Amino acid sequence: MEACPHAQSMVAAKREQGCNERSKSQLWGGEQKTARTPERVQPAIERDQAGIWHIRSFKAARTLLRSGVVRQAGFKAEILARLPHLMRLPLLFSDGQDHQQQRRLTARFFAPRVVDEQYRELMERLSERLIEELKRRKRVDLSRLTLEMAVRVAAEVVGLTDSLLPGMARRLGAFFRYPIQRLSAHPRTWLNFLGLQWAVLRFYWLDVRPAIRARRRRPRRDVISHLLAQGYSEREILTECVTYGAAGMITTREFISVAAWHLLEQPALRQRFLQGSQEERLALLEEVLRLEPVVGHLYRRTTEELRLAADSGEQACIPAGALIDLHIYAINGDERVAGAQPQRLCAGRVLREERVTPSLMGFGDGPHRCPGAPIALQESDIFLRRLLALPGLRLERPPRLRWNDLICGYEIRDCIVTLDERPEPAR
């Protein structure tokens, strides 16, 4: 049942007033933790000396991503574009009508209702098992638990459930050990290329091929079964599985970890999360993602001339063939949309733009908006509710941050949590 629109507006006004008043500091969480360098927000649109266009305005970014005259240029897409195409491009790298058709066909695997009905029980069971491990051991690396959670859930959605050996998470992680910045004759490039091929081959033989065989015998409601029904070859299915593994499982892991980091350091915010409704909890998680986007930059290249305007009044005419860098930290911190003090975590933030999600560009926008957003939010909510409800749970020390150049985002490691179950002294 929907609340009265007038009541909703009154609640929104109170929340916005709270976020705009410094005196009500209980609404604020910690400062931004993961930005690699301080992000400037001006100019909103600019072209650098190398000819790359930089976007820091939410309005301009949304216009660009929804324009239909840009193509994917991030996640090494332009390296892939220079290779001979003997198969269909993965969903992450395709554009135009082919991309839109595949998004429509796979949407049923990621719809919020389907996620709730089909995967909630799995998420709850996995969360209980991981929490029991923490209770038993008293001290664990949270980044390991979040990886297992993210990989197991995504594996169920994709269909990677018939591996010959355990350790699929490690095999997926191996993809990031061999960075290829550009194609060249440098020996390091070839060594990384060979290492990456070995990682992909292990993933294929131990994880993907057994899953394909199992679904040829008995199709299920998952992505691999869908791809087989669409006539995809084993090589094409492998590339899709690599994409879902790298872009889905790994990013969700970091999202859960950074949300836990904030909530463990902010007792009032933690309590608010535990006592809130599901709608309030999900809004808070999206606010964390707005502040700490897992993917820090999105890249596009124009296929036609594109005119852009920012709320600040800046305008630009970007020519066809131009490379564009969208600065997600700056875009998510655009005060014209995020409101006052955008570099802080506000549990009741009201956005100054219609029809936008609380995470702004945390999940992207346009045709390439992350299809797995409902899955990431639901599994994060389920796991964190159980984790943060544990009495005596604390963060041993601030975790270690690394940078992942493939997704232009952070990695949280050595996130050690401990469980002190000693009873509180009597008052």
**Dmax of the chain from CA atoms?**
72
> CB atoms < 10 A from the CB of 289, how many?
25
Q: How many CA atoms, within 13 angstroms, populate the side-chain half-sphere of residue 35?
A: 18
One digit per residue, the tens of pLDDT, for the chain of length 427 reads 333 333 333 334 444 444 543 333 333 344 899 988 777 888 999 999 999 999 999 999 999 999 989 888 765 555 555 554 545 666 555 667 776 777 777 778 888 888 999 999 999 999 999 999 999 999 999 999 999 999 999 999 999 999 998 888 888 877 766 655 555 666 766 676 787 788 888 999 999 999 999 999 999 999 999 999 999 999 889 988 888 876 678 889 999 999 999 999 999 999 999 999 999 999 999 999 999 999 999 999 999 999 998 877 788 999 999 999 999 999 999 999 999 999 999 988 999 988 899 999 999 998 888 888 999 999 999 999 999 999 999 999 999 999 887 778 899 999 999 998 665 444 4
265 with 255: CB under 8 angstroms? no
Q: What are phi and psi of 66, to 5 degrees?
A: -100, 5
Q: How many helices (H) and strands (E) are present in the chain, helices listed first?
A: 17, 14
* pLDDT of amino acid 426: 47
> CB atoms < 10 A from the CB of 380, how many?
26
- What CATH number should be reported for the domain whose range is 5-419? 1.10.630.10
What does the H/E/C string look like for 44-96? CEEECCCCCEEECCHHHHHHHHCCCCEEECCCCHHHHHCCCCCCCCCCCCCCH
Residue in this structure with the two tokens 């003090």, named with its chain if needed:
341
Model-level pTM? Answer: 0.85
Give the C-alpha separation, 351 to 340, whole Å: 10
Give the C-alpha separation, 275 to 398, whole Å: 25
* pLDDT of amino acid 17: 44
Give the C-alpha separation, 282 to 322, whole Å: 37
* pLDDT of amino acid 190: 66
What does the H/E/C string look like for the chain? CCCCHHHHHHHHHHHHHHHHCCCCHHHEEEECCCCCCCCCCCCCEEECCCCCEEECCHHHHHHHHCCCCEEECCCCHHHHHCCCCCCCCCCCCCCHHHHHHHHHHHHHHCCHHHHHHHHHHHHHHHHHHHHHHHHHHCEEEHHHHHHHHHHHHHHHHHCCCCCCCCCHHHHHHHHHHCCCCCCCCCHHHHHHHHHHHHHHHHHHHHHHHHHHHHHHHCCCCCHHHHHHHCCCCHHHHHHHHHHHHHHHHHHHHHHHHHHHHHHHHCHHHHHHHHHCCHHHHHHHHHHHHHHCCCCCEEEEEECCCEEEECCCCCEEEECCCCEEEEEHHHHHCCHHHHCCCCCEEECCCCCCCCCCCCCCCCCCCHHHCCCCHHHHHHHHHHHHHHHHCCCCEEECCCCEEEEECCCCEEEEECCEEEECCCCCCCC
* pLDDT of amino acid 30: 45
* pLDDT of amino acid 82: 54
> CB atoms < 10 A from the CB of 33, how many?
17
What DSSP designation does 108 have?
G
What DSSP designation does 230 have?
T
The structure tokens listed for 219 are 């199709």
Query: Domain coordinates of the chain in residue numbers?
Result: 5-419
